Structure 1
Amino acid sequence: MSGVIDGGVIDVHAHWLPPELFDLPPGAPYGPMRDRDGELYLGEIPLSIETRAMSDVRAIHDDMRAGGVGVRVLSAPPFAFPVAGPATGYVTAYNEALGALVADAGGTLAGLGMVSFDDPAETSAQLESLAAAPGIAGAAIPPLVAGASLDRGALLHVLTEAERLGLAVLVHPMQLPRPEWGDHYLANLIGNPVETATAVAALLLGGVKERLPRLRICFVHGGGCAPGLLGRWEHGWRTRADVRRSSARPPRETFRELYFDTVTHDAGQLRLLAAHAGADAVVCGSDYPFDMAQQDPVGFATGAGLDAEALTGNARTFLHGDGS
């Protein structure tokens, strides 16, 4: 990647959606996105961000300069994932718009595109198109589709095809509602980390990385709860035949072959993640433009003891495989 701003780091976790796609794909659980006096709403839920922050390239670049980010990798916000049925037109429109945005950004922006999940052949075709698009490094996906996680069904198909095509995969939770998480923003504060940890566990204990050794996959929000649960998973794998039925390698070992971003909001948690995953598996993330974003992504990561140059090298390897 060329054209970095002020030599800053690569931010692999940021969101972008053009206004013409604010209606979201069919069956989106929260309703369409809307602008209300310059503020962005998801259905009736205020997102606590300016509408322009989601779509405006100047706003994105201004935030990058303020945060020491040289290259920002954009993907759709998770509520735009087409998980409820056919959405070929929406996916095509998003990927074409993202490709055009990246192509016009002078190397300061890159992309992770979108796929649909209802037709495996269509999913493969979409991934092949992403692989051929300049500046698009891979795809962003949810951790759950039709009740299945990364070790089966549509999501396993995506991972299999991504490995075949040399594409990077970013896994982002969807903030799925549950009755006990109705208050206090718990669907985000607890739900997102739990969704991500579930997907990590499915990948590790399902033996997915053993079947797809060249797969480059990153989990946002520092892997959610996964770093704190890894010891429990390891104990279960060693003591229960049903836990290790699908995986030949202990979860601690395979954990070090995954990537995780730095959006943990706690320096101790980030250091725990780096200890479990290895310093070469951690990449910088911001979660721009949401209110749960890491406002100073580079300063937060370096303040926790991580090296900015190493973070960028890790991101290049995640995105491209060869570190280019």
Structure 2
Amino acid sequence: MANRVIDADGHICEPAAVWNEYVDKRYRDRTIRVERDKDGRDWVSINGVVRRNLRPAAACVPWGMDDPNNVPTWDDILPGSYDGGARVKVLEEEGIERSLLYPSLYLIQGDVDDPAVAAATCYGYNEWIADMCRDGRGKLDAVGIVPLQDAVSAAREVEHIVQLGLKGACFRPERYKGLALYDESLKPFWERIASNGLFAAVHGSFGALMPSFATGRYDNLFFSHMICHPFEQMAALLDIVAGGVLERHPRLRVAFLESGLGWLEYWLDRLDGHFESMHQHVPWMKRKPSELFREQCFISIESDEAHRLPRLKELGLDGCVFWGADYPHYDCTYPGAVADLEEQLALLDPALAEGVRWRTAERFLSLA
């Protein structure tokens, strides 16, 4: 009998219907779009400007970056990345019970300049992803995206996410227009997430132009991709934990996604040390950061990080870790994601393996 497996960090690739049909027509020309040039090459357009620094399909199909001489177009994205029925077939082929879906292109919606366009972008995307999940035979869940370009709009969109039956609110770890995640203006935003039983999902990506550790230093994709995920997540965790967000909202669940696992032990240890030696600078904090993380936070891993779980168990953090397949992105394992996961989990204590496969994800998604 096969093991239960939940993919708690999968992705979709937005079809043209999102920007051509679901986003308010007043804002379609300035939302996130894929545009094809006269030479047949696809580029991302945002704020009405075509960017020639990112070939979108190369990041959104499993073979996308393998051959620089054969770059895929947006026509090559897999049906399982935008069609609910096709995605269910992928889950069945792979041996995955259900999947939680995140955006791909629309992960860079923090680059939208106009708050009104940002709000329309999020509203339209959320309507579309809810429709995709309705075709998923109960096997698909999704997060909505929120326009943190404006705190009031972000709180309002949380209510829309609730109405659509989505599971959580997703945003990037960078600061939208300089807004810190602990800012007073975001209290209604956090409260609406927590009080409605949603979770907050901090999910970065490369390709964004928001001020960040990566964009402030590098223009080479190797360098920027190396640091954009872990460095930004470390800063977001600092803001949420040391900024008092978790203590003000004890029912809030927060996930830090697709940034690896190796940094977590070091960062929590450093946070705890600062809490002990420099507490006078954060008098609103009453509890150790590691305790808050253990009770309210989650982190996703890929299969090849499973060997770190015994150490996390020693720290009492093993219940915070779930698996994400990352399908259909260029660096996912497809086909064979679950087979790869099981190979990595085979050497672990069965209880630890079960937690990674499904138990923690079930708690995170409030499925039990």
- Whether TM-score is above 0.5 comes out as yes
Distance 1:126-1:102 versus aligned 2 partners, 3 A rule:
same
The residue aligned with 2:9 is 13
The residue aligned with 1:3 is none
Offset at residue 290 of structure 1 (A):
1.8
* Aligned counterpart for 1:240 among listed residues 278, 291, 304: 278
Asked whether 1:171 is paired with 2:202, we answer yes
Where in structure 2 are the equivalents of 1:49-88 lying within 5 Å?
Answer: 49-50=60-61, 51=74, 52-53=77-78, 54-57=81-84, 60-77=87-104, 78-81=107-110, 84=113, 85-86=115-116, 87-88=118-119
Provide the rounded CA distance (Å) in 2 between the counterparts of 1:10 and 1:148: 33
Distance 1:284-1:238 versus aligned 2 partners, 3 A rule:
same
The residue aligned with 1:218 is 255
The residue aligned with 2:68 is none
Q: With the length of structure 1 as denominator, give the TM-score of the two structures.
A: 0.82
Asked whether 1:109 is paired with 2:150, we answer no
Offset at residue 313 of structure 1 (A):
2.5
Aligned residues of 1:131 and 1:165 also touching (Cα < 8 A): yes
- Say how many residue pairs are matched: 314
Provide the rounded CA distance (Å) in 1 between the counterparts of 2:306 and 2:356: 17
**Deviations 1:85-108 (CA, angstroms, capped at 9, x unpaired):** 222322221111111111111011
Using the aligned pairs only, state the percent identity.
22
Provide the rounded CA distance (Å) in 2 between the counterparts of 1:33 and 1:277: 44
Where in structure 2 are the equivalents of 1:30-179 lying within 5 Å?
Answer: 32-34=33-35, 42=44, 43-44=51-52, 45-46=54-55, 47-50=58-61, 51=74, 52-53=77-78, 54-57=81-84, 60-77=87-104, 78-81=107-110, 84=113, 85-86=115-116, 87-134=118-165, 136-143=166-173, 144-152=175-183, 157-175=188-206, 176=212, 177-179=214-216
* Aligned counterpart for 1:192 among listed residues 216, 229, 234: 229
* Greater shift in the superposed pair: 177-186 or 277-286: 177-186
3-state DSSP class of the match of 2:178? coil
Distance 1:99-1:309 versus aligned 2 partners, 3 A rule:
same
Offset at residue 300 of structure 1 (A):
6.2
Provide the rounded CA distance (Å) in 2 between the counterparts of 1:27 and 1:198: 29
Aligned residues of 1:48 and 1:291 also touching (Cα < 8 A): yes
Provide the rounded CA distance (Å) in 2 between the counterparts of 1:35 and 1:94: 21
Offset at residue 212 of structure 1 (A):
0.7
* Greater shift in the superposed pair: 80-89 or 70-79: 80-89
**Deviations 1:30-71 (CA, angstroms, capped at 9, x unpaired):** x74357999975443233443423434466345434543221
AA aligned opposite 1:20: A
3-state DSSP class of the match of 1:180? coil
Distance 1:81-1:179 versus aligned 2 partners, 3 A rule:
closer
Offset at residue 291 of structure 1 (A):
2.3
Distance 1:189-1:242 versus aligned 2 partners, 3 A rule:
farther
**Deviations 1:168-218 (CA, angstroms, capped at 9, x unpaired):** 221102435425332252222212110011111112211221111111111
Aligned residues of 1:203 and 1:209 also touching (Cα < 8 A): yes
Asked whether 1:282 is paired with 2:321, we answer yes
Q: CA RMSD in A?
A: 3.3
AA aligned opposite 2:290: R
Q: With the length of structure 2 as denominator, give the TM-score of the two structures.
A: 0.73
Structure with bigger gyration radius: 2
Aligned residues of 2:325 and 2:332 also touching (Cα < 8 A): yes
Unaligned runs of at least 5 residues, structure 1 = 1-5
Aligned residues of 2:320 and 2:360 also touching (Cα < 8 A): yes
